[in-house]
Structure 1
Amino acid sequence: MSNVVTDPRPVVRKFLARPQHEGVGATVRRSIGRFELKYFDPFLVLDEFSGVFLLQLDFLITHIELAQLDADIREMKSILYGIEESEPVAEACAQLTQEFFAGDTMRLLIRCLPKLNFETRKDATRVVANLQRQPVHSRLIASDYLEKNIDLLDVMITGHEDPSVALHYGGMLRDCLRHQVVASYVLKSAHMKKFFDYIQLPNFDVASDAAATFKELMTRHKSTVAEFLTKNYTWFFSDFNSKLLESPNYMTRRQAIKLLGDMLLDRSNSGVMVRYVSSKYNMKVLMNLMRETHMCIQIDAFHVFKLFVANKNKPADIVNILAANRNKLLRFFDGFNTEKEDEMFAADKAQVVKEIRELVATAPVGCSGELFKPIAGQLEQSVGAVHTRKCQ
């Protein structure tokens, strides 16, 4: 169950009732001598931070209080990252991490992020990112905290819908995804389908950030991703093909085909890969991408297409389509080259050509070739132009 705190007052009172520990502050002060002791005592910083947030949640914040809030977040960043040539102090970082999560300060920060100014949001994002990888007694307590406060991920994910904070929430979310419990929750949640929409948002920066988060989600925790793809194969790849690979947006297609290759070529997803390359409809999508005038997309599409050809257990309809269009495909590959000499690409292309030459149709070619003929025809017509545009 999520540990939802609807009223921050008990949290703040708990902080304010805590005895101060000057030892850590003194240690940090010796490292960064020119600053006042209280600003670098993790307990004092968190007390002030929580107190100002309480006012902010009550909509009573003043310019003075906002300035103090900005200062407190900067001081937390200074403890975690150090200042100028001064390295952070491990003991201070550990104690700040302990108190940050024990006092539910992360909830306060995430909930109030939209009210902060731009620079403070950037600092807050860096603080949250650092705390995800700060060990306390050789343990990443951030993972335990997020498991108990999983609803905070809902806030970060839906933050993509507000352009003013989307990049900050997105950055926080990617760092939280280093924890398997977080990735598992997001993959299983209803939010998963929203990423296909976020990646297509008209705001380029937000869409690119969502794509970066999606890539992190689909590649970091391999066994978790493999389980998800196996259970959700049909809807996931239907949306992946139609919304991403067939998107009218060049960057969306480029990022998607690269990610598809990364997923299918990962050994953890071998079962998913075999299923994907057994579909003639998937092959049609890939052949359309190989018609692109952008070489980046062409090459990445080829690296997925070669899996269809290399499959030793090709379904009959795929064999028949390839055989029916053998001559057109061979002419296309004859002019299909990278801008720079690439021995591995040349070897892969030679193997694909060899496989296509040796294919034997398992049924009359007219039965299966019609689906593919228009695509192959367009491929043949575009051979002279497809290699002229560089990656952008």
Structure 2
Amino acid sequence: MQNQIFELQYALDTFYFLMCGALVMWMAAGFTMLEAGLVRSKNTVEILTKNIALFATACTMYMICGYAIMYDGNLFLSGIAGTEALVADALATSAENGFDGDAVYSAASDFFFQVVFVATCMSIVSGAVAERMKLWSFLLFAVVMTGVIYPLEGSWTWGGKAVFGLFSLGDLGFSDFAGSGIVHMAGAAAALSGVLLLGARKGKYGPNGEIRAIPGANLPLAALGTLILWMGWFGFNGGSVLKLGDIASANAVAVVFLNTNAAAAGGAIGALIIARIIFGKADLTMLLNGALAGLVAITAEPSTPSALQATLFGMVAGVIVVLSILVLDKIKIDDPVGAISVHGVAGLFGLLIVPLTNPAATLLGQIAGAATIFTWVFISSLTVWSIIKFVIGLRISEEEEYQGADIAECGMEAYPEFIR
């Protein structure tokens, strides 16, 4: 009987992991559509190419070395060898001692769930550097980011290793349930370092410091991308429960889904209201970023707040992200899609509010974790970007930027029948 229970839970937890991973993979479509909608039509093909190529790069690099760095499990050399032995050992233990109800799932499903998180982190960088970065420079950075930079900071957090052998974030009380800092703030830190080296798009800022709006070409596409991300986030946070095959875990999954949705709704409402106060209009782009900010903020701890708390956390994140976008524009940090504000500022906010509902986390631990993640990713990314800039350059030429990255980088247009 114990073996039958084990086999059933193993199958259920593995299937749940895979389905949540598929939802997170679908977020790649959301990022692609969101970014394609918020850039000018002359840069659409390059955005589409970049997002699909970065996903493929992330999957390959994490298989080759990223997973080994983060969790000491080298799938490139061993495949999923040992999985059958692992299951056999677990079955024997279950028969001898009784199954204890711990999460049990295929090693391959664990890798699949982890690798789509890596791709999500890299997708954040894509939008921030849009419309002026060379495609191949971006993809070279993606190799290092997904193969080394992200896995190292992941090893200090989810991997449980000491930071450069010096101290343990877990011992300090650091907690990040599904990656507000580990995934989202890390992606924003890498994006910020790249944007600082790239500079702003031509015409974004006037000679006297005035800010010139550069509207996206397809707001319906951006709205679709946001809704796809909203849906995919249920896999992002829900899958991080790691199991489903018992009553307690099923209830935890339901709470995580509920709070994830509540925070997104709160973020959208908060951003819509503050945009109306500041601009006098209902700004769609701020509404979209507000929903995403709520999702990013709740990702650090979606299992312990009440639904009302999650809504309020999301609402505050929605307000913060609008103010952050305006501040970054004031200091001439050009982020076409608001990725640094959504994933960086809201990600930091999400980390800092964890102790409000999770007593196992400490404010000191959250600050230490945030500082460690940001410092490592920002400095290492800045170094890699600088090397790439020196060797092959980061930015397309002014003439290519005027013509559009589609022609310069991909040799085709997304809407060839239209005349720009």
TM-score (norm 1): 0.21
Q: Which has the larger radius of gyration?
A: 1
Higher relative contact order (CA 8 A, sep 6+): 2
Normalized against structure 2, the TM-score is what?
Answer: 0.20
